[in-house]
Amino acid sequence: MTTAVLGKTVVITGANSGIGWVTARALAAQGAYVVLACRRSEAAAEAREQILRQHPRAKVEMVTLDLASLASVRAGALEISERFPVVDILINNAGLASMRREISADGFELTFATNHLGPFLFTRLLLPAMARPGGRIINVASDAHRYIGRMHWDDLQLDRRYGVMRAYAQSKLANILFTRELAARLEGAGIAVNALHPGAVATGIWPQNHWYERAFSNLLKLFLVSAEKGARTTIWLATGAEGGASNGGYFINRKPRKPAAQARSSADQARLWAVSEQLVGLPAFSDKELTA
């Protein structure tokens, strides 16, 4: 057993299924103190029991977290800060791809709210608990940003023109822009911030509320890899030396890759950061956020 995460506290969003659950199981088996941050408490409880059945001595806890609700994100971050004063690794794994344009509890386009705004706020609120050398923040992005991803600055909530891949690719591009900007702002703080593409993975991000959504999801699965394969790079970044040495990197199949040009725009990084602060109601970033 590797000792890289032994005794460390790891918070994983969307850890009740798919890549998140596989990651949680692997890190718990290696001795990490794993916190499952999930929207549905019943699903989280079942995921926890499954891990404990396989690894009875594992340390696994749960926190309710709905990334589409800023109130839930604030409550979840507060609970984690109170229960776990030190967070060593944060894995922003949860994701959504909504077939139809839906609105979050706060009035934002649901995919953008879940995949970017929620993780942005959650990460910022947990920074005081991570403000020590050796911390790692891992954002699960997607290579979808490369092909059709762009920030629709004049229609960020996609009011005028919505498409499932249009929304998803924008949110995944936002993940990488956020990763790079956060890495730059945390330079010298001892916290490594990286993003990754897990591959085209058979997970539950695609909704299945209607017959055509179920058919689309089932068709996709014919071309997708397993969650076990999809989780490899996340686990590697959490446990391997590269995950601590790199900062602002983007990885595919446990190797560094250059993201698309639109993900490397320093102007867009700064713009997205400022817009996100405004939308979630955070003050401008300050080094004081790194003080508990």
More confident residue, 208 or 9: 9
Of the listed 33, 168, 212, 250, which one is catalytic?
Answer: 168
Q: Is the pLDDT of residue 285 over 90?
A: yes
CATH (residue range 9-281):
3.40.50.720
More confident residue, 286 or 176: 176
The band of 2, judged by pLDDT with boundaries at 50, 70 and 90, is low
Please, how many CA atoms are within 13 Å of residue 7, restricted to the half-sphere of its CB? 1
* Diameter over CA atoms, the chain: 52
| pLDDT tens-digit map of 224-266 | 557 888 899 999 999 999 899 999 999 999 999 999 999 999 9
Among 44-48, 71-75, 143-147, name the one with the lowest average pLDDT: 143-147
Exposure of 100 by Cβ count < 10 A (0-12 exposed, 13-18 middle, 19+ buried)? exposed
Q: Is the pLDDT of residue 211 over 60?
A: no
Cβ within 8 Å of residue 74, ≥6 positions away: 121, 125
Active site residue 33: no
Q: Would you kindly state where each structural domain of the chain is located, as residue ranges?
A: 9-281
Q: Is the pLDDT of residue 277 over 90?
A: yes
d(CA 38, CA 46): 11
pLDDT at 226: 74
Average pLDDT over residues 29-43: 97
Exposure of 210 by Cβ count < 10 A (0-12 exposed, 13-18 middle, 19+ buried)? exposed
Q: Which of 189, 284, 224 is nearest to 97 (CA)?
A: 224
